[in-house]
Chain A
Amino acid sequence: MVKAIAKKKSNTIKLNFDTSWSYAPAPESKSAATINKQYDLFINGEWQKPLSKKYFDTINPATEEKLSEVAEAGVADVDKAVKAARNAYDKVWKKMPAKERAKYIFRIARIMQEKARELAVIETLDGGKPIKESRDFDVPTAANHLFYYAGWADKLEYAFPNRRTESLGVAGQITPWNFPLLMAAWKIAPALATGNTVVLKPAETTSLTTLKLAEIIQEADLPPGVVNIITGAGETGAAIVNHADINKIAFTGSTHVGKIIQRAIAGTNKKATLELGGKAANIIFEDAPIDQAVEGVVNAIFFNQGHVCCAGSRLYVQESVAKEVIRKLRDRMQSLIVGDPMDKNTDIGAINSKEQLHIIQKYIAIGKKEGAEMYESSCALPSKGFWCRPTIFSNVAQSNRIAQEEIFGPVLSILTFRTDDEVIEKANNSPYGLSAGVWTDKGSKIFNMTKRMRAGVVWANTFNKFDPTSPFGGYKESGFGREGGLHGLLPYLNLIN
């Protein structure tokens, strides 16, 4: 084992992460979850066959195996769900004392905690994200969100002093495929706490945990019709958006679809919150704690395979430390474990769908063509399923498409800058404005940056931190309205004198 002192020339210095001591597989058990062969629509507190009579498959993106099939709600199904929600609103939920409403939300949160392991397993099987993340992030954060808003239900007069609040009615909610259960919790919790009823549609590739949530809601004895969960793709979503008896639309997804929704509800009374795409600037100054910043970059772009609307996908590094940052980032990428999402040691799981993989691959090809320097980690990939190695592009220019457009995958574009003013201008030079990050040891610089950055969330010396008490939402084409915190109540209320 003893080796001679290594004294090498600087150009050959390299760390070797291909170690003789490696981790044995540590897979979480699939048997921790029950997945039905087929799921119907959850309307009025019961499972109903779709009037459309149609079902579609949902697969495990890590193996391409079919997990289940779920109902495709047509226009008539949507109408049925909205009617159930309206009826529950008028007859039960609107009249119920707020503290009673809160009890139901608390109960849902508690059952969610009890079933945390099962929910985590299903989230990972259906969406491809590492079990480590669904277990330690998605499920607990979702439960926390419900607990937090349950607390607000009977305290709205303190949230908005000297104002009376009034619920809106029926909320139509459409969630994305990157954090299915968490986004369902983000949408349902404030809606119920403020006294609204809900028709919610999860994304078509990842319906299963939301359907499991429907089972939890049933178990919690929530009055029938208060939450209705219907499944389907874009057309189902359109039917929700266009339904005349819906008072509010809450949508999280692409900017493209967000614009369609905006057009569709123009001229109606519907309120809306849209949480859309992003191309977040993550800025490292030369005085930053570099090793922690590198870890923050990893967390910013490789968390959930980069399927994160607020992902730090544009990295701005001050030129004097750019070489060091990139070297450290490359080393760090070598120790990222890519593969079976069910393995507890996996850091990067499967890409959510074949379609998304194609989009990512398209952008990687564009980046190469644009002349940026590409580096990907050298890990082996499984033969079946949808995979993408963690990838970084350096020598990227502001005018490159990979620096401007949302890739929504584990692909980072690295740009350099010289001065504070320059980087603020470049960071704000984007149609998006959802989030940003600043890394510096200097407090005054943090305040200067956060003040001038046009982004809904700015993280200082950290990234991708979420808390139910903190509002989240965008500027510009990243959408409008806030979810989370006290601010997250407002989109579900009318304030009256």
Chain B
Amino acid sequence: MVSGSLTMLSDLPDRQAGFSLSPRIDQVGVEERASRFTKRSIKKESKLNGLKLVLNMIDLTTLEGKDTAGKVKQLCYKAMHPHDSYPGLPTVAAICVYPSMVKVAKKALGDSGIKIASVATAFPGGQAPKDVKIRDTKYAVHEGADEVDMVISRGKFHAGEYNFVFDEIAAIKEACGEARLKVILETGELGTFDKVRRASDIAMHAGADFIKTSTGKIAPAATMPVTLVMLEAIRDFYYKTGRMIGMKPAGGISKSKLALHYLVMVKEVLGEDWLNNHWFRFGASSLANDVLMQIMKEKTGVYQSANYFSVD
């Protein structure tokens, strides 16, 4: 899994210059295209199948200062048993916690197959020295994280120090070992689609397994146009290198309908190979319940009260 990253360096003798030449993005065009995906009408079995797929792609998340072992255990149970009154539902893809909660989650999830994602690298600000970030990462992996969600150094990125950003990601990737690395761009702080594209290219070339929009702590978090720019970067990278990169929009996706629009976007930009939770995730805390509510509505024909869905 580590393969790609280092060989990639030789393709880019002058990385700094290379990334400033990332393809340009036209804001109006991206927004128009993104809104066109929302015009797809998802009905009947395609709605139900889509909802189940969405549920299966969720990284059920709690990233709060007040997180406790008790809270994380409850979340893990929800991850394994989203709604037991509907047998046969898929589980979520992963739960996403701070490094200090990884061990708790690991124990609670047992052999359920649900992954444990841990944020690291001085999440969410990322304002810490590299060695601290590496220790943070190694700690999370040592505690049992299957996936690491790192943040890039946005300050350095804005200052044009692309080599710094690149090297940091590469170092974290190395610290991850076997764990998959998700690189959070924090697109809400990048300002333009051009910069989102450039940051995506840096992350992928530096060894990211996933690129991810946001920490969830900054507004705006994930939007469809931003996600589209990143999906197109993934597609271009795939054509260039043959390496698949995953995508994780996070934050701001709390309704099923919006999640289905994202699914449409993945289907029409990257196609079948990305339509599974190995390559696409939703980072969300409240999306799961809305999806469950919609699934029950598809099954019974009527909406049920929110009181019937567990709040965790």
Q: Give chain A's interface residues, CB within 8 Å of chain B.
A: 1-3, 5-10, 13, 15-26, 132, 136, 287-293, 295-296, 327, 331, 335, 344-345, 441, 461-462
Residues B242 and A20 in contact, CB atoms below 8 Å apart: no
Q: Known contacts A6-B244, A287-B24, A288-B24; decide if A22 and B271 are in contact (CB<8 Å).
A: no
Q: Give chain B's interface residues, CB within 8 Å of chain A.
A: 1, 3-4, 23-26, 28-30, 32-33, 39-47, 49-50, 53, 56, 232, 235, 238-240, 242-244, 263, 267-268, 270-273, 275-279
Q: How far is the CB of B244 from chain A (nearest CB, A)?
A: 5
The interface residues of chain A lying within 8 Å CB-to-CB of B240 are 10
Query: Could you write out 20 A-B pairs with CB less than 8 Å apart?
Result: A3-B278, A10-B239, A10-B242, A17-B267, A17-B271, A19-B272, A20-B272, A21-B46, A21-B49, A22-B46, A24-B46, A132-B39, A289-B25, A289-B29, A291-B29, A293-B29, A327-B239, A335-B268, A345-B40, A462-B28
Residues B273 and A6 in contact, CB atoms below 8 Å apart: yes
Q: How far is the CA of A23 from the CA of B270 in the complex (A)?
A: 16
Q: How far is the CB of A23 from chain B (nearest CB, A)?
A: 5
Task: Determine which of A1, A10, A288 lies in contact with B276 in the assembled complex, contact meaning CB atoms within 8 Å.
Answer: A1
Closest to A291 in B: B232
Closest to B193 in A: A289
Q: How far is the CB of B91 from chain A (nearest CB, A)?
A: 12
Q: Known contacts A24-B44, A289-B24, A345-B41; decide if A1 and B271 are in contact (CB<8 Å).
A: no
* Sample of 15 more A-B contacts, CB < 8 Å, known A23-B41, A132-B39, A344-B40: A1-B56, A9-B242, A13-B239, A13-B242, A15-B270, A15-B273, A17-B271, A18-B271, A19-B272, A24-B43, A289-B24, A292-B26, A292-B30, A295-B33, A335-B268
The interface residues of chain B lying within 8 Å CB-to-CB of A335 are 267-268
The interface residues of chain B lying within 8 Å CB-to-CB of A23 are 40-43, 46
Q: How far is the CA of A15 from the CA of B43 in the complex (A)?
A: 25
Most buried by B among A2, A21, A23: A21
Task: Determine which of A26, A136, A291 lies in contact with B41 in the assembled complex, contact meaning CB atoms within 8 Å.
Answer: A26
Residues B41 and A15 in contact, CB atoms below 8 Å apart: no
Task: Determine which of A9, A21, A327 lies in contact with B267 in the assembled complex, contact meaning CB atoms within 8 Å.
Answer: A21
The interface residues of chain A lying within 8 Å CB-to-CB of B46 are 21-24
Q: How far is the CB of A139 from chain B (nearest CB, A)?
A: 15
Q: Known contacts A21-B50, A287-B24; decide if A8 and B272 are in contact (CB<8 Å).
A: no
Q: How far is the CA of A18 from the CA of B270 in the complex (A)?
A: 11
Closest to A327 in B: B239
Residues B267 and A19 in contact, CB atoms below 8 Å apart: yes
Closest to A337 in B: B40
The interface residues of chain A lying within 8 Å CB-to-CB of B29 are 289, 291-293, 295-296, 461-462
The interface residues of chain A lying within 8 Å CB-to-CB of B275 are 19-21
Q: How far is the CB of A46 from chain B (nearest CB, A)?
A: 40
Residues A13 and B23 in contact, CB atoms below 8 Å apart: no
Closest to B277 in A: A1
Q: How far is the CA of A331 from the CA of B25 in the complex (A)?
A: 19
Q: Known contacts A15-B270, A24-B44, A287-B24; decide if A295 and B32 are in contact (CB<8 Å).
A: yes
Q: How far is the CA of A21 from the CA of B24 in the complex (A)?
A: 31
Q: How far is the CB of A141 from chain B (nearest CB, A)?
A: 16
Q: How far is the CA of A26 from the CA of B50 in the complex (A)?
A: 15
Q: How far is the CA of A289 from the CA of B194 in the complex (A)?
A: 10
Closest to A10 in B: B242
Q: How far is the CA of A13 from the CA of B243 in the complex (A)?
A: 10
Closest to B3 in A: A7
Q: How far is the CB of B269 from chain A (nearest CB, A)?
A: 8
Q: How far is the CB of B270 from chain A (nearest CB, A)?
A: 6
The interface residues of chain B lying within 8 Å CB-to-CB of A22 are 46
Residues B272 and A17 in contact, CB atoms below 8 Å apart: yes
Q: Known contacts A26-B41, A289-B26; decide if A19 and B56 are in contact (CB<8 Å).
A: no
The interface residues of chain B lying within 8 Å CB-to-CB of A7 are 3-4, 242-243
Task: Determine which of B44, B47, B235, B242 lies in contact with A15 in the assembled complex, contact meaning CB atoms within 8 Å.
Answer: B235
Closest to B30 in A: A292
The interface residues of chain B lying within 8 Å CB-to-CB of A327 are 239
Q: How far is the CA of A105 from the CA of B275 in the complex (A)?
A: 50
Q: How far is the CB of B37 from chain A (nearest CB, A)?
A: 10
Q: How far is the CB of A107 from chain B (nearest CB, A)?
A: 30
Q: Which 4 A-B pairs have the closest CB atoms?
A: A292-B29, A26-B41, A289-B26, A1-B276
Q: How far is the CB of B26 from chain A (nearest CB, A)?
A: 4
Q: Known contacts A15-B235, A24-B46, A287-B24; decide if A5 and B271 are in contact (CB<8 Å).
A: no
The interface residues of chain A lying within 8 Å CB-to-CB of B43 are 23-26
Q: How far is the CB of B154 from chain A (nearest CB, A)?
A: 23
Closest to B276 in A: A1
Q: How far is the CB of B20 from chain A (nearest CB, A)?
A: 13
Residues A5 and B26 in contact, CB atoms below 8 Å apart: no
Closest to B270 in A: A15
Q: How far is the CB of A110 from chain B (nearest CB, A)?
A: 25
Q: Known contacts A1-B276, A10-B242, A335-B268; decide if A292 and B56 are in contact (CB<8 Å).
A: no
Residues B242 and A2 in contact, CB atoms below 8 Å apart: no
The interface residues of chain A lying within 8 Å CB-to-CB of B238 are 13, 15
Closest to B240 in A: A10
The interface residues of chain A lying within 8 Å CB-to-CB of B243 are 5-7
Q: How far is the CB of B275 from chain A (nearest CB, A)?
A: 6
Closest to B235 in A: A15
The interface residues of chain A lying within 8 Å CB-to-CB of B277 are 1-2
The interface residues of chain A lying within 8 Å CB-to-CB of B270 are 15
Closest to A288 in B: B24
Q: How far is the CA of A382 from the CA of B76 in the complex (A)?
A: 49
Residues A5 and B1 in contact, CB atoms below 8 Å apart: yes
Residues B271 and A21 in contact, CB atoms below 8 Å apart: no
Q: How far is the CB of B90 from chain A (nearest CB, A)?
A: 9
The interface residues of chain B lying within 8 Å CB-to-CB of A461 are 26, 28-29
The interface residues of chain B lying within 8 Å CB-to-CB of A296 are 29
Q: How far is the CA of A478 from the CA of B278 in the complex (A)?
A: 53
Q: How far is the CB of B297 from chain A (nearest CB, A)?
A: 16
The interface residues of chain A lying within 8 Å CB-to-CB of B3 are 7
Q: How far is the CA of A288 from the CA of B4 in the complex (A)?
A: 29
Residues B244 and A5 in contact, CB atoms below 8 Å apart: yes
Q: How far is the CA of A292 from the CA of B43 in the complex (A)?
A: 29
Q: How far is the CB of A16 from chain B (nearest CB, A)?
A: 4
The interface residues of chain A lying within 8 Å CB-to-CB of B40 are 23, 344-345
Residues B41 and A8 in contact, CB atoms below 8 Å apart: no
Residues B242 and A21 in contact, CB atoms below 8 Å apart: no
Residues B271 and A2 in contact, CB atoms below 8 Å apart: no
Q: How far is the CB of A437 from chain B (nearest CB, A)?
A: 12
